[in-house]
Structure 1
Amino acid sequence: MDKKIALVHDQLHEFGGAERVLVALTEIFPNAPIYTAFHNPKNLGVHSKHFEKSNIIPSWAQKIPFFPSIYSPLRFLAPFIWKSFDFSKFDLVISSSGWYMCKGVKTGLKTINICYLHHPPRYLYGYETAVEWQKYALVKIYANIVNYFLRIWDYESSQKVDYFIANSIETKTRIKKFYRRYADVIYPPVNIPINIKRSNKKRNYYVTTARLTKAKHIDILIHAANKLHLQLKIIGSGREEEYLKSISGPTIEFLDHVEDSEFRNLYTNAKGFLFASVDEEFGIAPIEAMGYGVPVIAYSSGGLKETVQNGKNGFLYDKLEISSLISAINKFIKLSDQEHSLMRNNARKSAEKYSFKNFKENLLKFVKVHN
């Protein structure tokens, strides 16, 4: 592709599903620079290697001392950050947008502006967030004032996007609801292993991967594992880590971020994947587990209702309660060896549609049609 292309991403401070999509975009467009609010390689840990060859251009906010630690309360600066970049020399700008609304970049009349939206900002539209800021009176007042003006700007900036791509039907619905815009759905790429080397050992542990924040409800997984005496390995880090460790029994293990080889081994030999996130727009981690043939037991919410087929590649539970999760786990435990093997095979087949190959083909086709 001869056109001059730029990528834009909210921030490079932590690594989650949105950043996995950005990695895929850099592989598809290796010469495209990445514009972002700020870049913190140290905090990315082992994942910083994914961006070592990229030309990363942070905004002026990078120069503000401790900005990565205070960017949430300073969210009112987001419109000024994205307007400060000059994209006039580019033919195409693709924004990987979510929490920090980088879709609000200012582009010229001749520049095609495509937004791959992970989700509209949760804190603006009443969805659960990582921090329960509503319980602090002064913070609530401040946030409500700031969020009022940001909602207006978020809507106005959404009207300047030429084309929206949603990462799921759930997100497409939200784009229609909050922005009154149409979006095509291109599911994000998930790291699906080509070959799975399974050991003959009996799988007796469960796994979950998530940022350890309030909205992920890891505490429900822990309480269920404690009651059933299940081995649960938790991959991830976050502000809730110390609390979660304090309520964990002897069968719970925290692994923080792990290297790729250890990650593959953990997933290959896991019995099941547990998930309790609410209103997850897509949920890359459960699909990643299914790619290793690991059935998923997830709360029936958001995009998980699109990807987890109850009783086929996993189980869904209807109430965000420990007892509801335990009931789903017990259904899973009671499967015969043959039924469990079939569910593992179904999980693997389900995940294959979310491959990088499919993502690349669909994205390039979209760009070609709309460019």
Structure 2
Amino acid sequence: MVDSLGSELGADIIIGFSTEEVARKSRNNPRILWNREVHGGTSRAIQSIMKFPFVSLQQYDVVIQSGSGTHWYIPKGDQKIIRYVHSIPLSYRENGFLDKISRILRKPTVETANRYVANSDQTSEEIKNYLGKDSEVIYPPVDTNAFSAKKGEGFVTISRLTEEKGVREVVEFFNSRDESLTVVGSGPLLEELEAISEENVRITGWVSEEKKKDILREGGVFVLNSGNESFGIAPIEAMASGMPVVARRGGYTPNQVKDGFNGILFESLEDGIRRFLSEGVDATPEEIVHESEKYSIESFTADFQRIISEEI
């Protein structure tokens, strides 16, 4: 998202806590404020509170904030702040002592933004419920033009390999079946999944962008089992490749998948896969690609250009 804003809008990119390695991966030569990576939510929050208020960006008429740490930045003069929210900080959802303290400290930062933008309808509702602010929805950009549709075979899932993503359940389910499954991603569960997977299940680990495109082009169906995505990029990339998406009902996913048309929504993984195998979907690969286009870089850029123009 940040790279797209930099490239398409000609904007400078400024990163708070990061490393030179991260900067080298960007195509926009970002400026890193503090050359280190801060691990842990509490440590990151404390460092953000201590450092962002003293950042000087007065040369910019408009600042687009991405990431909750940047909310501690204090606008200079009549500078306009557009806050792009990907998820509400966890402290708003929990009610522990530290969560209450965090909400008290964050309260003044809620008012420093002139405009709120949400990455999904679900996030927009949370901004209203927790912060009391209206927001416009602009979906994160996906380079849909970089993918090509081809009617392939087999099931594919792309995910961070962590407990909450539900990938272990997918692997265990396909272990007992004949259909092939390709699992793309890295994370704490990688070695375990490699150890338990049967011959029909391929665990690739991390792959390059080009390899990922090849896997999606050659696959037949995308599986998403997390059920709590505020916005999922991988399902959009799958649709841009002409693949139907079989996904757990929950989070933002039901807004991306039209049940029975470009995919299947399920409560139970087994029921979802069996339903897809028996019923399929109504959409052709070309129609599925068309569904992905509202998440394109072109759409994202046009919406942000409009908002920036209105703010100025």
TM-score (norm: length of structure 1): 0.77
**Secondary structure of 1:254 counterpart:** strand
Deviation at 1:96, TM superposition (A): 1.4
1:26/1:54 contact within 8 Å kept: no
Q: Which residue of 2 aligns with 1:55?
A: 30
Q: Which residue of 1 aligns with 2:51?
A: 81
2:148/2:240 contact within 8 Å kept: no
**Aligned residue identity for 1:75:** R
Deviation at 1:187, TM superposition (A): 1.2
Q: Distance in 2 between matches of 1:179 and 1:52?
A: 34
Query: Quick one: which of 250, 253, 272 aligns to 1:304?
Result: 253
Deviation at 1:240, TM superposition (A): 2.8
Deviation at 1:284, TM superposition (A): 1.2
Q: Which residue of 2 aligns with 1:154?
A: 106
**Structure 1 unaligned blocks of 5 or more:** 1-20, 127-142, 319-323
**Aligned residue identity for 1:109:** G
Deviation at 1:259, TM superposition (A): 2.2
Q: Distance in 1 between matches of 2:163 and 2:149?
A: 35
Q: Distance in 1 between matches of 2:15 and 2:74?
A: 12
Aligned length: 311
Deviation at 1:30, TM superposition (A): 3.3
Q: Does 1:165 align with 2:117?
A: yes
Deviation at 1:328, TM superposition (A): 1.0
Q: Which residue of 2 aligns with 1:321?
A: none
Q: Which residue of 2 aligns with 1:176?
A: 128
Q: Does 1:90 align with 2:70?
A: no
Q: Does 1:23 align with 2:3?
A: yes
**Aligned residue identity for 1:95:** Q
**Secondary structure of 1:95 counterpart:** strand
**Secondary structure of 2:41 counterpart:** coil
Deviation at 1:197, TM superposition (A): 5.8
Report 1:136-147 matches (<5 A): 144-147=96-99
Deviation at 1:350, TM superposition (A): 0.7
Q: Which residue of 1 aligns with 2:278?
A: 334
Q: Which residue of 2 aligns with 1:281?
A: 230
Deviation at 1:261, TM superposition (A): 2.4
Deviation at 1:352, TM superposition (A): 1.2
Deviation at 1:185, TM superposition (A): 0.7
Q: Does 1:316 align with 2:299?
A: no
Q: Distance in 2 between matches of 1:286 and 1:326?
A: 19
- Distance of aligned partners of 1:220 and 1:102 in 2 relative to their CA distance in 1, 3 Å threshold: farther
Q: Which residue of 2 aligns with 1:4?
A: none
Q: Which residue of 1 aligns with 2:13?
A: 33
1:314/1:343 contact within 8 Å kept: no
Q: Distance in 2 between matches of 1:242 and 1:123?
A: 32
| Worse overlay, 223-232 or 175-184 | 223-232
1:151-185 deviations in Å (ceiling 9; x for gaps) = 33334312221111001110100101111111011
RMSD across aligned positions (CA): 2.4
Q: Which residue of 2 aligns with 1:139?
A: none
| Worse overlay, 117-126 or 346-355 | 117-126
**Aligned residue identity for 1:89:** Q
2:45/2:69 contact within 8 Å kept: no
2:3/2:27 contact within 8 Å kept: no
- Distance of aligned partners of 1:315 and 1:180 in 2 relative to their CA distance in 1, 3 Å threshold: same
Query: Quick one: which of 284, 292, 296 aligns to 1:351?
Result: 292
**Aligned residue identity for 2:79:** T
Q: Which residue of 2 aligns with 1:125?
A: 93
1:188-209 deviations in Å (ceiling 9; x for gaps) = 111213672637xxx3321111
Q: Distance in 2 between matches of 1:147 and 1:279?
A: 21
**Aligned residue identity for 1:361:** A
1:21-54 deviations in Å (ceiling 9; x for gaps) = 112111123351323222352xx5xxx6551441
Query: Quick one: which of 48, 71, 82 aligns to 1:114?
Result: 82
Deviation at 1:102, TM superposition (A): 2.1
- Distance of aligned partners of 1:39 and 1:29 in 2 relative to their CA distance in 1, 3 Å threshold: farther
- Distance of aligned partners of 1:195 and 1:212 in 2 relative to their CA distance in 1, 3 Å threshold: closer
Q: Distance in 1 between matches of 2:187 and 2:178?
A: 24
2:231/2:252 contact within 8 Å kept: yes
2:63/2:80 contact within 8 Å kept: yes
2:147/2:237 contact within 8 Å kept: no
Deviation at 1:75, TM superposition (A): 3.2
**Secondary structure of 1:279 counterpart:** coil
2:91/2:100 contact within 8 Å kept: no
- Distance of aligned partners of 1:176 and 1:197 in 2 relative to their CA distance in 1, 3 Å threshold: closer
